[in-house]
């Protein structure tokens, strides 16, 4: 099969059966065939494998593929062999090592898959020296970076191997890399900046939506009821996958769990049931999905905050690989952010700023009143149009409310009371309440307080959460609030804080109409909303604010 530098387009057709290259594939393949070091960043499903498989067939010698998971390698192996490509792997579960090594030396292999820990060993280098190597392909290359979301220290040890073969080109591939990770991959793997090829990240057929968690089981039932076709629900824990799968299965659809704690037989059975099915739902941890190529997944729901924008993009990207309309829904709660922030303290200091940036980016995605796709694409360095027309916020723009003044009042109260009191105390002080503690501390005497009126008072809590998300306030273990790094910007009013107004859906009320300006005057709009709600639902009036910067729903009930 090792045709000497056969025409790539001809090989594409004869070996792979494809009519043409997709996206940047042609560009990447051309660079690789020219022997140039390359980092290809292409979204999941864009066809990264082809970028090394085709050169592997076209070039004389064997292409060595470094891949992080045995399951992934064996999937690839199967599909490569099905195309008639001479492929093998050297992993702990392979029993044909001797034969594979012999074939490699004899020039009878196009592709050899190995894990990074094996590839970095001296034994492997010696083996390669006895063979002809055409290309090093480093798949899932974000694993090389501490900035990445799946850091694998063994990827760092690959460099000496690559450098030991200066004439062999290297091709790193990943779906997910923000600018930091990208730079890091280039540096770690010795690829010049001009070797970077990025394909467009937009997945226009995916409709993105983000909602606060508000009765998860019911929300998921609604998704299942509204969407036929195969779906994936990502749950944060193993226990949650089982519990949700059980609950949702009562609706009559096949819903199965998948997580690393299940026996390999159960996992394999559930996975193949899913691959074969036309309407099954898999409730899984993120252990599910890597390397799974099911084109007709119609929806991916995250029942909790993903680890990063990269993981979110990759996981939600498993929807709609066939190009047909699909849905990506993210359901989050304030506690997700609290937990994520707590975990920062647990990682080594050198990685903490990366973690913090990751959480902030997720905050930007869930909090935005603007286009979700724009947030995602900007994260990957693209300059998207301000509106995509196919995300929740573009389809139904939320009404916004400027609460900068309330934020200033709260920050000023935090400052004047010595940055140590909890929200309950601050609320009492701000609304001019008097209790023993307030009197004792002399906080009733501070003239700045008592300035938050009855209508504004319900905003204090959501504003406090907003400020925490924005790094303007930090809470200690006892709930005491102190200034965070950004406090002064908000105190001075240089940075604005706004809330997204979201009338209660559960009451069957339609959302406030698009783009309507409720800032002027703020509280008149608030009162109007309450009246509408009360009239329509015949219940005590209340409004739910989903503030854009906070990460929770606040129920605001007039007394």
d(CA 21, CA 8): 10
The nearest distance, CB 323 to ligand ADP, in angstroms, is 11
Give me the helices (H) in 483-538, please: 487-491, 522-537
171 binds, among ligand ADP, Mg ion, none (CB under 5 to 8 A by kind): none
Q: Which is nearer to Mg ion, 48 or 142 (CB)?
A: 48
270 binds, among Mg ion, ligand ADP, none (CB under 5 to 8 A by kind): none
The nearest distance, CB 295 to ligand ADP, in angstroms, is 7
CA geometry: angle at 341 spanning 339 and 343, to 5°? 70
The nearest distance, CB 51 to Mg ion, in angstroms, is 10
Q: Which is nearer to ligand ADP, 45 or 541 (CB)?
A: 45
Q: Which is nearer to ligand ADP, 44 or 181 (CB)?
A: 44
45 binds, among Mg ion, ligand ADP, none (CB under 5 to 8 A by kind): ligand ADP
The nearest distance, CB 491 to ligand ADP, in angstroms, is 47
Q: Which is nearer to ligand ADP, 50 or 191 (CB)?
A: 50
229 binds, among Mg ion, ligand ADP, none (CB under 5 to 8 A by kind): none
Grouping H, G, I as helix, E, B as strand and the rest as coil, residue 154 is helix
174 binds, among ligand ADP, Mg ion, none (CB under 5 to 8 A by kind): none
The length of the chain, given as a count of residues:
559
The nearest distance, CB 21 to ligand ADP, in angstroms, is 5
The nearest distance, CB 294 to ligand ADP, in angstroms, is 10
Q: What are the structure tokens assigned to 400, written together? A: 């916004």
449 binds, among ligand ADP, Mg ion, none (CB under 5 to 8 A by kind): none
> How many Cβ atoms are within 10 Å of 427's Cβ, its own excluded?
19
The nearest distance, CB 283 to Mg ion, in angstroms, is 24
Residues in touch with Mg ion (CB under 5 A): 48
d(CA 503, CA 537): 12
Q: Which is nearer to ligand ADP, 21 or 337 (CB)?
A: 21
d(CA 311, CA 306): 6
The nearest distance, CB 23 to ligand ADP, in angstroms, is 8
462 binds, among Mg ion, ligand ADP, none (CB under 5 to 8 A by kind): none
Q: Which is nearer to ligand ADP, 55 or 398 (CB)?
A: 55
> How many Cβ atoms are within 10 Å of 515's Cβ, its own excluded?
11
21 binds, among Mg ion, ligand ADP, none (CB under 5 to 8 A by kind): ligand ADP
308 binds, among Mg ion, ligand ADP, none (CB under 5 to 8 A by kind): none
50 binds, among Mg ion, ligand ADP, none (CB under 5 to 8 A by kind): ligand ADP
Q: Which is nearer to ligand ADP, 22 or 527 (CB)?
A: 22
| DSSP structure class, residue 509 | P
Q: Which residue has the CB atom at the shortest distance from Mg ion?
A: 48
Q: Which is nearer to ligand ADP, 45 or 458 (CB)?
A: 45
The nearest distance, CB 48 to ligand ADP, in angstroms, is 3
Q: Which is nearer to Mg ion, 48 or 207 (CB)?
A: 48
Q: Which is nearer to ligand ADP, 45 or 169 (CB)?
A: 45
Q: Phi/psi at 290 (nearest 5 deg)?
A: -60, 120
The nearest distance, CB 53 to ligand ADP, in angstroms, is 8
Query: Could you tell me if 230 and 279 are in contact, meaning their C-beta atoms sit under 8 angstroms apart?
Result: yes
Residues near 310 by beta carbon (within 8 Å), at least 6 away in sequence: 142, 148, 149, 176, 177, 178, 181
d(CA 366, CA 210): 6
The nearest distance, CB 47 to ligand ADP, in angstroms, is 3
Edge-to-edge strands, sheet with 133-138: 87-90, 111-114, 62-66, 133-138, 170-174, 38-41, 196-198
d(CA 438, CA 443): 5
Q: Which residue has the CB atom at the shortest distance from ligand ADP?
A: 47
d(CA 304, CA 244): 13
Q: Which is nearer to ligand ADP, 266 or 287 (CB)?
A: 287
46 binds, among ligand ADP, Mg ion, none (CB under 5 to 8 A by kind): ligand ADP
Residues in touch with ligand ADP (CB under 6 A): 18, 21-22, 25, 42, 44-50, 293
Bridge partners of 391?
208
> How many Cβ atoms are within 10 Å of 549's Cβ, its own excluded?
27
| DSSP structure class, residue 300 | E
Nearest to 115 by CA among 154, 163, 148: 154
Distances (CA, A) of 258 to 26, 243, 263, 282, 513: 36, 11, 10, 7, 40
d(CA 350, CA 242): 36
């Amino acid at each position: 099969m090792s045709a000497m530098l056969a025409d790539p387009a001809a090989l594409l057709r004869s070996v792979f059966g494809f009519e043409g290259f997709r996206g940047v594939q042609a560009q990447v393949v051309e660079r690789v065939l020219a022997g140039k070091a390359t980092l290809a960043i292409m979204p999941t499903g864009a066809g990264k494998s082809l970028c090394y498989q085709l050169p592997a067939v076209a070039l004389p010698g064997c292409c060595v593929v470094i891949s992080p998971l045995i399951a992934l390698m064996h999937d690839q192996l199967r599909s490569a062999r099905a195309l008639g490509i001479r492929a093998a792997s050297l992993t702990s579960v392979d029993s044909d090592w001797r034969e594979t090594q012999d074939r490699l030396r004899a020039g009878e292999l196009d592709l050899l898959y190995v894990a990074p820990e094996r590839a970095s060993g001296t034994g492997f280098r010696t083996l390669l020296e006895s063979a002809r190597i055409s290309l090093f392909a480093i798949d899932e290359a974000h694993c090389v970076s501490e900035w990445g979301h799946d850091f694998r220290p063994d990827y760092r040890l690959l460099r000496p191997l690559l450098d030991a073969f200066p004439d062999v080109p290297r091709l790193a591939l990943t779906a997910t890399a923000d600018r930091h990770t990208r730079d890091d991959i280039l540096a770690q793997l010795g690829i010049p900046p001009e070797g970077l090829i990025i394909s467009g990240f937009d997945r226009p057929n995916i409709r993105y939506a983000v909602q606060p968690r508000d009765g998860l089981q019911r929300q998921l039932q609604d998704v299942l009821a509204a969407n036929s076709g195969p779906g994936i629900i990502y749950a944060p824990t193993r226990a949650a996958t089982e519990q949700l799968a059980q609950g949702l299965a009562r609706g009559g659809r096949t819903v199965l769990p998948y997580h690393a704690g299940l026996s390999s037989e159960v996992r394999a059975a559930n996975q193949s049931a899913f691959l074969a099915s036309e309407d099954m739902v898999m409730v899984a941890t993120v252990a599910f999905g890597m390397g799974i190529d099911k084109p007709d997944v119609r929806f991916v729901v995250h029942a909790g905050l993903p680890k990063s924008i990269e993981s979110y993009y990759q996981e939600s990207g498993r929807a709609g690989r066939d190009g047909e309309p699909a849905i990506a829904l993210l359901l989050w709660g304030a506690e997700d952010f609290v937990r994520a922030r707590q975990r920062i303290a647990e990682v080594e200091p050198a990685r903490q700023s990366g973690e913090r940036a990751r959480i902030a980016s997720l905050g930007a995605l869930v909090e935005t009143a603007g286009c979700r796709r724009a947030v995602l694409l900007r994260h990957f360095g693209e300059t998207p149009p301000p509106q995509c027309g196919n995300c929740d916020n573009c389809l139904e723009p939320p009404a916004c409310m400027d609460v900068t003044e309330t934020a200033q009042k709260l920050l000023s109260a935090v400052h004047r009371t010595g940055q140590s009191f909890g929200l309950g105390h601050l609320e009492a002080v701000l609304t001019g309440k008097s209790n023993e503690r307030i009197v004792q501390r002399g906080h009733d005497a501070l003239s700045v307080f008592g300035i938050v009126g009855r209508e504004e008072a319900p905003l204090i809590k959501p504003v406090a959460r907003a400020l925490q998300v924005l790094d303007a306030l930090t809470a200690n273990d006892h709930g005491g609030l102190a200034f965070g790094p950004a406090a002064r910007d908000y105190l001075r009013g240089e940075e604005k804080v706004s809330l997204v107004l979201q009338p209660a859906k559960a009451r069957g009320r339609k959302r406030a109409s698009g783009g309507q300006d409720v800032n002027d005057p703020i509280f008149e709009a608030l009162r109007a909303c309450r009246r509408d709600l009360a009239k329509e639902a015949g219940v005590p009036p209340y409004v739910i604010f989903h503030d854009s910067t906070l990460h929770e729903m606040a129920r605001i009930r007039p007394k």
